[in-house]
Amino acid sequence: MTQTTAAAESTSPQKVDAVVIGAGFAGLYALHKLRNDMGLKVQVVDKAGGIGGTWYWNRYPGARCDSESYYYSYSFSEELEQEWSWSERYPDHNEIRRYLTFVADKFDLHRDIRLSTTVTGASYDAARDRWTVRTDIGQDIEAQFLITAVGCLSTANVPDIPGLADFRGDWYHTGHWPHEGVDLRGKRVGQIGTGSTGIQLAPELAKVADHLTVFQRTANYSIPARNAPLTDAFQTEVKETYRDIRDWAKRVTNGHPFDIRDQSALEVEEAERRRIYEQHWDTGGLRFRAAFRDILTDRDANETASDFIRSKIREAVKDPDTAEKLTPTDHGFATKRPPIDTHYFETYNRDNVTLVDLRAAPIEVITENGICTADGEHELDVIVFATGFDAFTGSLEALNIAAPDGHTLRDSWQAGPQTYLGVQTPGFPNLFMITGPGSPSVLCNMPVAIEQHVEWVAQCIAHMREGGLNRVEPAPDAAGEWVAEVNRAANATLLPQASTSWYLGANVPGKPQMFLPYAGGMAHYADICDDVARDDYRGFVFS
């Protein structure tokens, strides 16, 4: 190839039918569905150096999925289900990346994925109904459809604590954990944050660090995960009954194939209630939430679950003062995303672990030697931020996607995201979001939510191609009504009552606060989407 031809090629846009941003669970399935099943020309781009999405970045010690492996997986291929075997009840990040690589190999996906490629912006040419996606590698990509598969929890939230630049040690955010690992032997490590990530992380850090200081702002509930290797007999049974398992996952509220007991926590005597909670505690994991049907809808019922877990924390932690600090009192169990753990509370019984209660003594500044709270300085060699993400909207807004009128998503969503079904937003034609704000997403076992969204979007695109339609976007009224429905569904639960929750955007200073995922249940949501499609895509405007 001559130099001139190469230069011309690198500047002329690549032309495809659809650009997919993100090569995690959602992006890989979108590529498979649109290219392999429907024959579209598709280009996937991802800024990561490998596939895996959230699991490419989250490699902190203890990083493991909270959904159980046999159903935290794709259901679209029976062959894939039979060929792949999971090793543990909850897969760790390495195993999930191996699984996704197996999927990408099997369905020949790699050839249409460009890694290490950051989207710097996108704009829409209304005359041609084409998106132009700009990237940092210099070549634009033009496509009729732009599909974001960027995940809900991808933009790290590093709190703006004064003095971080002065810190002489190293610091890390769990969502950008170095791939080569971090040698913490002999180090004094400070961990900020006790959400799902921090609760997985602390026991692992404590095992290697010289000393671990956990800086806790809000005490959290956690349920023992009870992780264990999967037996051959279990694997065989799963493989023999996969169709039933998948159907089950699709007909329940959270996409997890287990049923919630159809009984109120308030209907039973205290001793019987305790017995049921004990049984669910022994089972472990997110199944604990299924002990009674009203844990997330009735404050008194919720208090029985919260109280049970508080008693478990006091049992597990030997020092009563530390136990008290670790006991949540300001929100009910599962009103924030409930973590699951492996010996989290017991970790505080170790001699090399200290808990700092930031409610009593907030962080004032980071110095060159460590973290200063109102009580004094904690000397540290390493600081680990387990401080979560700018969830739902952060990664979408960072894409710098502009509507035909020049407004970006960030401009349009200043007061919070306006979406219809969480799949499209008014003013942005042919832009589809996989698990966008206003869809069940994080309130569901993610692969179930992802497959439903990808399939719905694919069906909509097929409808357009069959009908010779070039453009689709939601009517503003439809989006307004959907936002009202998202609020209604949230307010029918106790979820909006946890005022510092990332479900509300409350963890990021300055972010507009509104309840972001759809809490009406995955099965119900899927029925609504199907009904909209059957009703000639009610609320969407085609041209």
Contact between 387 and ligand NAP by CB under 6 A: the answer reads yes
Residue nearest to ligand NAP (CB): 195
Specify the residue, 500 or 513, whose C-beta has the smaller distance to ligand NAP: 500
> What DSSP assignment string belongs to 462-527?
HHHHHHT---EEE-HHHHHHHHHHHHHHHHTSSGGG-TT-GGGTTTSTT------S--S-HHHHHH
Stretch that binds ligand NAP, among 21-29, 315-323, 374-382, 385-393 (CB under 6 A): 385-393
Closest CA to 316 of 214, 224, 190: 224
- Nearest approach, Cβ of residue 179 and ligand NAP (Å): 18
Contact between 159 and ligand NAP by CB under 6 A: the answer reads yes
Specify the residue, 164 or 475, whose C-beta has the smaller distance to ligand NAP: 164
Specify the residue, 328 or 474, whose C-beta has the smaller distance to ligand NAP: 328
In what helix (H) or strand (E) does residue 187 lie, and over which residues does it extend?
none
Contact criterion met (CB below 8 Å) for 484 and 515:
no
Here the tokens at position 29 are 């399935």
Count of residues engaged in binding ligand NAP, rule: CB under 6 A: 26
- Specify the pairing of strand 370-373 against strand 376-379: antiparallel
Stretch that binds ligand NAP, among 62-70, 96-104, 260-268, 455-463 (CB under 6 A): 62-70
Angle at 226 between CA 222 and CA 231, to 5 degrees: 155
Here the tokens at position 145 are 């459809």
Site string for ligand NAP, 477-516 (x = CB under 6 A): -----------------------x-x----x---------
One of 65, 309, 371, 409 touching ligand NAP (CB under 6 A): 65
Contact between 89 and ligand NAP by CB under 6 A: the answer reads no
Contact between 193 and ligand NAP by CB under 6 A: the answer reads yes
Specify the residue, 388 or 440, whose C-beta has the smaller distance to ligand NAP: 388
Stretch that binds ligand NAP, among 31-39, 61-69, 259-267, 489-497 (CB under 6 A): 61-69
Specify the residue, 82 or 94, whose C-beta has the smaller distance to ligand NAP: 94
Please list the residues that pair with 511 across neighbouring strands. Answer: none
Whole-angstrom CA distances from 338 to 153, 371, 397, 459 are 15, 28, 27, 34
- C-alpha 145/C-alpha 33 separation (Å) is 14
- C-alpha 32/C-alpha 25 separation (Å) is 11
Stretch that binds ligand NAP, among 221-229, 381-389, 429-437, 458-466 (CB under 6 A): 381-389
Stretch that binds ligand NAP, among 133-141, 239-247, 289-297, 380-388 (CB under 6 A): 380-388
Specify the residue, 177 or 502, whose C-beta has the smaller distance to ligand NAP: 502
- Nearest approach, Cβ of residue 93 and ligand NAP (Å): 9
Contact between 153 and ligand NAP by CB under 6 A: the answer reads yes
Here the tokens at position 155 are 């933009």
Contact criterion met (CB below 8 Å) for 334 and 289:
yes
- Nearest approach, Cβ of residue 35 and ligand NAP (Å): 29
Site for ligand NAP in 250-309 (CB under 6 A): none
SS3 string, 91-142, reads CEHHHHHHHHHHHHHHCCCHHHEECCCCEEEEEEECCCCEEEEEECCCCCEE
One of 386, 431, 434, 532 touching ligand NAP (CB under 6 A): 386
Question: How many separate helices (H) and strands (E) can be counted in the chain?
Answer: 17, 19
Specify the residue, 65 or 133, whose C-beta has the smaller distance to ligand NAP: 65
- C-alpha 350/C-alpha 361 separation (Å) is 22
Closest CA to 35 of 102, 100, 109: 109
Site for ligand NAP in 421-460 (CB under 6 A): 442
Site string for ligand NAP, 120-149 (x = CB under 6 A): ------------------------------
Site string for ligand NAP, 299-338 (x = CB under 6 A): --------------------------------------x-
Closest CA to 264 of 216, 218, 307, 297: 297
Q: How far is CA 344 from the centre of its chain?
A: 21
Angle at 156 between CA 445 and CA 366, to 5 degrees: 135
Specify the residue, 428 or 502, whose C-beta has the smaller distance to ligand NAP: 502
Q: Which amino acid is present at 379?
A: E
Instruction: State the residues that interact with ligand NAP by CB under 6 A.
Output: 64-66, 153, 159, 192-198, 200, 217-218, 337, 358, 363, 386-389, 442, 500, 502, 507
